[in-house]
Copies of this chain bind each other. A is one copy, B any other.
């Protein structure tokens, strides 16, 4: 029987990606006590790197928003793995850490990260309300525009 969160994902028309393998010698999440620490996720879809580029230099805020949303989808996919497939075990999305590839003149990192924040609230409702930071970076792995890591509390 599908859980509450699985049903909401279906209603939203969201199909979670497979939990992506890490790009290097580490693991995509660690469960420690009641917390899941999710490694920095990048905008990967079906194994393809998406949204390469730099905000403030040809990439629009809306592109950045979509990139952040895709990072967040991958975060939820990792949390599902951490929960043994049952997303109803999520107590809270505690924190997101967002890095946005930015020119020195681009200062709308919050609007970009909203792509991740909005998805958390669509999917988890009140349990999706998180603390976060949103900062610029000169460059991110593989040239992507956004990288987001996360801490979740699970039951």
- Check B141–A27 contact: CB distance below 8 A: no
**Does A14 sit within 8 A of B, measured CB to CB?**
no
Q: Say yes or no: is A66 at the interface (Cβ < 8 Å to chain B).
A: no
A136 and B135 within 8 A (CB)? no
Is A25 positioned at the interface, with any CB of B under 8 Å from its CB? yes
Q: How far is the CA of A141 from the CA of B134 in the complex (A)?
A: 7
Interface size class of A (residues with CB under 8 A): 35 or more
Alpha-carbon gap, A134 to B139, bound state (A): 10
| Cross-chain contact A27 with B97 (CB below 8 angstroms) | no
Contact among B29, B32, B121, B147 for A25, CB-based, below 8 A: B121
Does A104 reach chain B (CB closer than 8 Å)? yes
Q: Could you give, for residues 133-151 of chain A, a 1 whenever the CB lies within 8 Å of some chain B CB and a 0 otherwise?
A: 1111111111100010101
A29 to chain B minimum Cβ distance, whole angstroms, is: 6
Binding site for B on A (CB under 8 A): 23-30, 32-35, 37-40, 54, 56, 91-92, 94-97, 99, 101-111, 113-114, 117-118, 121, 129-143, 147, 149, 151, 153
